[in-house]
Structure 1
């Protein structure tokens, strides 16, 4: 019986090892550009609906110059937004147009509710194609605001 359990455990562990790690998102080096500087940051890129839905849920921390970039194929309406359900850390979110120009920045706080319906939505207030989440206070501390731009071109980040 013990041998059977060991064999089953080995077989099961092999199955688990074959499951891809869906938590690993592509990482890009990008920069935020203002009138007088370029601020390099590292972002995880969430492109699929599942990746965007998961976002930064469950994370206990975010590195100081790191964030998550949410990419949409089509423009999102101004009344669309993000929520903080199951998100443990306070964040700022910048809503970006097609060219990466920041149209709005919102400050978001963790939602302690076990029910998503009880969590507020932080509407963009402007149409957007992308959204960038960073640690709360990051944009202000770096002097980045509405009208500044996210660039994904390495040549812009030097």
Structure 2
């Protein structure tokens, strides 16, 4: 009987592992493009207010060529920005126009405060429709800067 219970427990735990994570965001292959190169990346896409609010909070790491893309239905003002409340890893953020052209890049550091109001906001400085967070230093290490573009068409990287 004990062996049967152990087998059922293992079987049930395997079933639970197959259940999709309801908090998982859609993942897309994308391409950062500059005049001299195309860099393939993988992005989690945050489209709803709740997904954008959660962002990368609580993550202890981000894969080297991965990021999070925040998508808005309408243009955000230049004074709109992001903060690093409950975000554990240093990030860079690129603010993108409707066509995916990078208008500004900001370096963001984790905020140690337990109160969101004590965390700085990293304003875009330009109107934007999307924002792309990557590991800090990623854009510079890949030679990606203001005026370069994000394409959500992965075939642009071929």
Q: TM-score range by the shorter chain?
A: 0.7 to 0.9
Note closer, same or farther for the CA distance 1:156–1:108 as it changes in structure 2 (3 Å cut): same
**Structure 1 unaligned regions, length at least 5:** none
Note closer, same or farther for the CA distance 1:66–1:81 as it changes in structure 2 (3 Å cut): same
TM-score (ref. length: structure 2)? 0.88
Note closer, same or farther for the CA distance 1:14–1:42 as it changes in structure 2 (3 Å cut): closer
Note closer, same or farther for the CA distance 1:5–1:49 as it changes in structure 2 (3 Å cut): farther
Alpha-carbon distance, 1:22 to partner: 3.1
Note closer, same or farther for the CA distance 1:2–1:116 as it changes in structure 2 (3 Å cut): farther
Rounded to whole Å, the distance in 1 between the matches of 2:36 and 2:10 is 58
**Structure 2 unaligned regions, length at least 5:** none
Aligned length: 158
Alpha-carbon distance, 1:155 to partner: 2.6
The SS at the match of 1:57 is coil
TM-score (ref. length: structure 1)? 0.88
User: Which residue is equivalent to 1:137?
Assistant: 137
Note closer, same or farther for the CA distance 1:108–1:17 as it changes in structure 2 (3 Å cut): same
| Farther-moved stretch of structure 1 (9-18 vs 110-119) | 9-18
Rounded to whole Å, the distance in 2 between the matches of 1:106 and 1:26 is 25
